[in-house]
Amino acid sequence: MKPTKPPPRRFNFRGFKPREIKPQTVEKIVKGFVWSVALMVIAVLISIVVFILYKGLPVINWGFLTEIPRKMGREGGISSAIAGTLLVTAVAVFIAMPFGIGTAFYLAEYTRGNTVTRVIRFSAESLAGIPSIVYGLFGFIFFVMYLNLGWSVLSGGLTLAIMILPTIIRTSEEAIRSVPNTYREVGFSLGGTKWQTIRGAVAPSAVRGIANGVILSVGRSVAETAAVVLTAGSALRMPASLSSPARTMAVHFYILATEGISMENAYGTAAILIILIFFINIVANTLINRFVAKGR
């Protein structure tokens, strides 16, 4: 008789228990992953800023800041581009800010979840997802052609105002909703009206979040290219009024870089653009902190 092979040994899983990982270990792993991602984002930002400043700072001098571009930007400075950027951004922010903040207070304080609020929020979200080139085409057809405003600072500012309106609405609404309800209850208990409670208790507490939304909108307006070149134009001369065409720094940098006119001046323009955005953020945050400190 042939010897029979013993049956294969089977592992009994009934009494097996996997080794449990300690919650402290899981927390350390997650914390390390989050920190690594955050440091990676900061490293990318720093590398971009350092590269642009390394290439652009040697180009910057007093003549570069005060002279008008000559020979399509090969020579001269960017004074007209700086003025065009400030004018277009100021028009956009001053038009969009009251509408955006007012809409946010209406959604957060004066209405509840109904059809009107859902339509407004859906419209704001839809506007936020539209590409900038579509805004540029709309601004060109409606403001430049239909309203006969031409390529001008006003056309560019109105187009950018529509672009940044969703950002102001959503950030302002979230800032208003983050104010504790006890502030409103105290205002009502003292005999205040709805508007008095909003003006005296809600608005001062939400001003920091609202201002952050406005600062984000300013940054987007300053860096926008596609929508501005179709509405404000790309004239090299200094804008004399809101009806004059203007070239922003973002458009100037785009034209110099893509057409190979002058990479040195393109890097210098980009460096000034980054410095301007940082300066706006620092000044705005300083003013906000002082305002909040005085209100306490």
pLDDT of residue 278: 87
Q: Which residue has the higher pLDDT, 242 or 191?
A: 242
pLDDT score, position 190:
81
Does the structure show a pLDDT above 90 at 38?
yes
Q: What is the average pLDDT across 4-32?
A: 69
* Number of neighbouring beta carbons within 10 Å of residue 292: 14
d(CA 70, CA 76): 5
Average pLDDT on 35-46 reads: 94
Predicted confidence (pLDDT) per residue in 64-101, tens digit: 888 888 888 888 889 999 999 999 999 999 999 999 99
pLDDT tens digits for range 208-254: 888 888 888 888 888 888 899 999 988 888 998 899 999 999 999 98
Integer Cα distance of 43 and 69 in angstroms: 34
Contact 172, 209 (CB under 8 A): yes
Within 10 A of 267 (CB to CB), how many other CB atoms are there?
23
Phi, psi for residue 70 in degrees, rounded to 5 = -125, 155
What pLDDT is recorded for position 137? 93
Mean pLDDT of the chain: 86
Q: Where are the alpha helices (DSSP H) in 140-193?
A: 153-177, 181-189
Mean pLDDT calculated for residue range 118-137? 87
pLDDT of residue 4: 61
What pLDDT, on the 0 to 100 scale, is given for residue 19? 65
pLDDT for 37 equals 94
What does DSSP assign to residue 237? Answer: S
Looking at residue 192, its pLDDT comes to: 79
Exposed, middle or buried by CB within 10 Å (0-12, 13-18, 19+), for 269? buried
Residue 5: the pLDDT is 59
| Amino acid symbol at 204 | P
What's the pLDDT band for 12 if we cut at 50, 70, 90?
A: low
Query: In this structure, what are the phi and psi dihedrals at residue 255, rounded to the nearest 5 degrees?
Result: -70, -45
Task: Evaluate if residue 11 carries a pLDDT over 60.
Answer: no
φ/ψ (deg, to 5) at 94: -70, -25
Q: What is the pLDDT of residue 18?
A: 61
Q: What is the pLDDT of residue 226?
A: 87
Distance CA 124, CA 119 (A): 9
pLDDT at position 14 is 58
Return the sign of the alpha-carbon dihedral for residues 106, 111, 112, 118: negative
Mean pLDDT of 253-267: 88
| Ordered domains of the chain (ranges, CATH) | 84-249 (1.10.3720.10)
Of the ranges 138-142, 205-209, 221-225, the best mean pLDDT one: 138-142
Decide which of 270 and 285 is more confident: 270
